[in-house]
């Protein structure tokens, strides 16, 4: 694809005004209903693009912001019994990706639904609030499969989890703490 400076500014708007803002608005209205009842689950669909480069600058910045927004919402909503999860599907087979045969071993769009259903059955869902949760992790933990009977994305899961084991490079200090 083209580098960010060659793309129209509408590319940014698509990721942030439509994507990020829509998640925020939906979360506001969901929280307004869930807080008074003292329970609920808000799931924001994100991706590993928030951790490392994927597709383009606008996409990555939007997913990173969505993960942070989910973490901050989780902190504010936890005392009210409302959990907020940032759910990372793996490579998803959609109509658009199927046309190009991009992810032949990817997960179906139904796999995320199975993951959310599994989350709703967890007795201690609040332990996950504000965190990134991956669909494949939930499948392994809860024993569900995709519509083809498989658990897709195990290799991708291992790669991403290794990356999550340490902060992204831009969060690491350039100067060692001992020098400060």
Q: Return the higher-pLDDT residue of 161 and 64.
A: 64
Q: How far apart are the first and last CA of the chain?
A: 41
Active site residue 53: no
Q: Which of 75-84, 136-145, 171-180 bottoms out in mean pLDDT, i.e. has the lowest?
A: 171-180
Would you state the pLDDT for residue 179? 52
Q: Mean pLDDT of all residues in the chain?
A: 88
Residue 147 is classified by DSSP as T
On the question of pLDDT at 155 being above 90, the answer is no
Residue 105 is classified by DSSP as T
pTM of the predicted protein model: 0.86
Tell me phi and psi for residue 80, to 5 degrees.
-100, 5
Kindly state the tokens that stand for 140: 């392994």
Reported confidence tier of residue 102, pLDDT bands at 50, 70, 90: confident
On the question of pLDDT at 27 being above 50, the answer is yes
Average pLDDT score over residue span 92-118: 90
Task: List pLDDT tens digits, range 39-63.
Answer: 999 999 998 888 888 888 999 999 9
Q: Which of 20, 23, 48, 59 is catalytic?
A: 59
Q: Classify strands 82-88 and 131-134 as parallel, antiparallel or unpaired.
A: parallel
Would you state the pLDDT for residue 156? 74
Do the Cβ atoms of 146 and 107 come closer than 8 Å?
Answer: yes
How far, in Å, CA of 34 to CA of 27, rounded?
10
Sequence-ordered alpha helix ranges (H) in the chain: 10-13, 21-37, 57-77, 95-99, 109-120, 135-142, 154-164
On the question of pLDDT at 99 being above 60, the answer is yes
How far, in Å, CA of 32 to CA of 28, rounded?
6
Task: List pLDDT tens digits, range 114-141.
Answer: 999 999 999 999 999 999 999 999 999 9
How far, in Å, CA of 117 to CA of 113, rounded?
6
């Amino acid at each position: 694809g083209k580098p960010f400076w060659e793309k129209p500014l509408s590319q940014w708007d698509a990721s942030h005004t439509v994507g990020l803002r829509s998640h925020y608005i939906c979360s506001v209205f969901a929280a307004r209903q869930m807080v008074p009842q003292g329970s609920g689950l808000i799931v924001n669909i994100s991706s590993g693009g928030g951790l490392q480069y994927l597709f383009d600058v606008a996409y990555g910045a939007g997913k990173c912001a969505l993960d942070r927004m989910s973490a901050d919402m989780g902190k504010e909503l936890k005392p009210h019994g409302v959990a907020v999860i940032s759910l990372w599907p793996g490579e998803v087979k959609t109509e658009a990706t199927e046309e190009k045969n991009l992810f032949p071993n990817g997960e179906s769009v139904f796999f995320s639904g199975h993951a959310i259903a599994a989350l709703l059955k967890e007795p201690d869902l609040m332990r996950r609030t504000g965190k990134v949760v991956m669909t494949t992790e939930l499948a392994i933990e809860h024993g569900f499969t995709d519509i083809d009977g498989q658990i897709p994305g195990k290799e991708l899961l291992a790669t991403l989890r290794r990356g999550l084991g340490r902060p992204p490079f831009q969060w690491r200090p350039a100067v060692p703490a001992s020098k400060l």
